[in-house]
Chain A
Amino acid sequence: MDRTEQERLITENRRKRELRYIATFVLMAVIFAVIVVLNINTGSVKISVPEIFRVIFLRQGDKVKYDIIWSIRLPRIAMAAILGGALSLSGFLLQTFFSNPITGPFILGISSGAKMCVALSLIYYIQRFGHSSSVIMILAAFVGALLSTGFVLLLSRKIRNMSILLVGGIMVSYICSAVTDFIVTFADDSNIVNLHGWSLGSFAGSTWTDFYTALAIIGVCAVVTFLAAKPISAFQLGENYAQSMGVNIRLFRVMLILLSSVLSATVTAYAGPISFVGIAVPHLVKRSLNTAKPIIVIPATFLGGAVFCMFCDLIARTAFSPTEMNISTVTSIFGAPVVIAMILKRNGGVKQ
């Protein structure tokens, strides 16, 4: 084949790939819309689709249904969407950082660290002042996330082997959970009820205020992440190559860690630790796009995480209604098999 022929082929393949990207985004957007409607539609009170549109777009309709949609279901869906997106993005950043697709905020113990600090501050503030604020919860979660991350980073300096590092992360996670359980055992009963529901993870009880606070934090992080798509792409070739192409590695590493910690901390502060979303979603998204180009994967991962969490929340809410499952139960059921498949594929392809 001569050069012009080859270049024609390359251009053609590029078109095909671009088409695939567009198709994936369109598909996700459609699923997103369908799940939003389904989510509003189902529950103890059924609301028909025309009614939903009337309530949302014309702001009119039955008072009870109007309230259910606007103060219960919509904020919850919105919360599930942005927190799901944030969690997936956090996973993607950690995977980039450790150059390993099988890492995420949950498996590295970052979510558990955040959970521990939130539990501590929650009990402290409720005992002292009788209430706590979301800002304090987020700050506590952030501190906890950074603590765990810092510990994992220390480990990663000593341990080059990624699987051992993951085991280290899981241990961190167990230690944090043990501490949390310890605190819970000695806390007042009224606090425990509060804490117990939260520490299992749920999007229930989300309010618009929560949503706007979370949106502000996550929005900023997501935009910054998107703008960092270029250095992230260089980082995919490894640290040394990234530096040789002009990335200030030290600064960039700090930025990655901060972004992923803030993202997963925010999620934990509002919805508790949620498992497997951070690994499964970026993987599924990359596979369906068939690329790891950050500039495409970053928005797709966010959208995918939103869809995944809204879907899981729908199941958590409705599968055994009126009993609600916690969100991690559902995300594990759907996420863990994906992760197992990933491990099988990795170790089946290249024997170590």
Chain B
Amino acid sequence: MSEYVSASGLTVGYNGRPLIRDIALSIRRGEIVTLIGPNGSGKSTILKTLTRHLAAIGGTVTIDSEDLSGITYKELAKKMAVLLTDRTRPELMTCRDVVAMGRYPYTGSLGLLTEEDQKLISDAMVMVNVLELSDRDFQNLSDGQRQRVLLARAICQEPQVIVLDEPTSFLDIRYKIELFGILKKMAIERNTTVIMSLHEIDLAEKISDKILCVKGDHIEHFGTPEEIFSTGLIGTLYDISPKAFNPLLGSVEMPAPSGEPHTFVISACGSGIPVFRALQKAGKPFAAGILYENDVDWQVAFSLAAEVVTEKPFEEISDEAMRRARELIDACEEVILCPVPVGSVNARLRELINYARNAKPCREA
């Protein structure tokens, strides 16, 4: 697969004032590339420069190995479709009229639609589930419906690259999933390149082939999701604690309650997660253990607990871990016992549970 969209030495910004310098990008056909980064970091500025709504301050962008600034708008329209964050409220236009606008680069000088155009318009509308909205006034739709109608418009423009600025805003979970399904389909079946900005990093991780991390004045990283999410990059990018986002589960975690642990939780295999969350919501600091590093409870406890007593996977529980767990139980005021399957490897957990029952008031969860 060859390179389709590329940028080198690209400087973007408004009114001649550079915002981000020296951007280098290389995107192939059929690739899905997502821009992530904090609010106001310049994701939209980069996208607008790629779509030519903003002139590049320095450097070059090429599309299909042609210099972007040398392509006529009409030629560009046949290669690239966009979905913008602009709130567009055209007067007296039906949804189908709006979708039909996607055929603009292909119709004659009066913009009359052929039967073939009508078919493509219907196809695009079926693809995003808006065919039944055809004759509705575009102004009277919900934000989500409007977004989908505009997407149908972009689809029937038959682009080789589609650029979407925060396409998931206004969409509920069902339509987010559908949107990504459609984009994936376009990427695989039509070899369409997808470039978009997203706020949901968990979704970015799952949909993207490559991710561009934009941070204020520079590009933090451009690479595969695996590269970005296995390092602590997300924390640095958004200036958040590395515990606030769990890339393995793709979940956002609230900050752990501060202070000395008050409760000790013994759990395994997911039985502790609801307890951890309840304690976090109540603002009660807690400790958890003894958890194996490969236990799903460990993933959440890592973010929410003041301390987690940890053991290596498939090892018998060590004396060291037992000692630390007992210390913590002694320091806490109560112990919560969640259902724990005890087998031959973690047999010593039974010992810990008995210790807790004798030492402190225990609650069964």
Contacts and interface: CB of A to CB of B under 8 A. Distances in A.
A binds B: yes
Contacts, number: 94
Contacts of B73: 243, 246-248
Contact of B101 (A237, A248, A290): A237
Contacts of A227: 109-110
Contacts of B84: 240-241, 244
Contact of A237 (B74, B98, B109, B132): B98
B122 interface: yes
B141 interface: no
Interface string B69-100: 00011111110111010101011110011100
A238 B101 CA distance: 12
Contact of A292 (B86, B90, B107): B90
B147 interface: no
B104 A246 contact: yes
Contacts of A9: 134-135
Interface string A242-266: 0111111000000000000000000
Given A237-B88, A237-B90, A293-B97, A244 B80 contact: yes
B111 interface: yes
Interface stretch (A115-123, A147-155, A195-203, A228-236): A228-236
B110 A292 contact: no
B41 interface: no
A295 interface: yes
Given A241-B82, A244-B81, A10 B96 contact: yes
B275 interface: no
Interface string B49-79: 0011100000000000000000011111110
Nearest to A13: B135
Main secondary structure of the interface of A (DSSP, over half): helix
Contacts of A233: 101, 111
Contacts of A295: 110-112
Contacts of B109: 227, 230
A349 B131 CA distance: 26
Interface string B123-141: 0001000011011000000
Given A6-B131, A245-B77, A292-B93, A240 B111 contact: no
Interface residues of A, number: 30
B88 A241 contact: yes
Nearest to B105: A246
Contacts of B310: none
A226 B84 CA distance: 28
B208 interface: no
B126 A3 contact: yes
Interface string B18-59: 000000000000000000000000000000000111000000
B88 A238 contact: yes
Interface in A1-46: 1, 3, 6-7, 9-10, 13
B157 interface: yes
Contacts of A237: 88, 90, 98, 101
A6 B123 CA distance: 12
A122 B76 CA distance: 50
Given A6-B132, A243-B53, A245-B157, A286 B92 contact: yes
Interface of B: 51-53, 72-78, 80-82, 84, 86, 88, 90-93, 96-98, 101-102, 104-105, 107, 109-112, 122, 126, 131-132, 134-135, 157
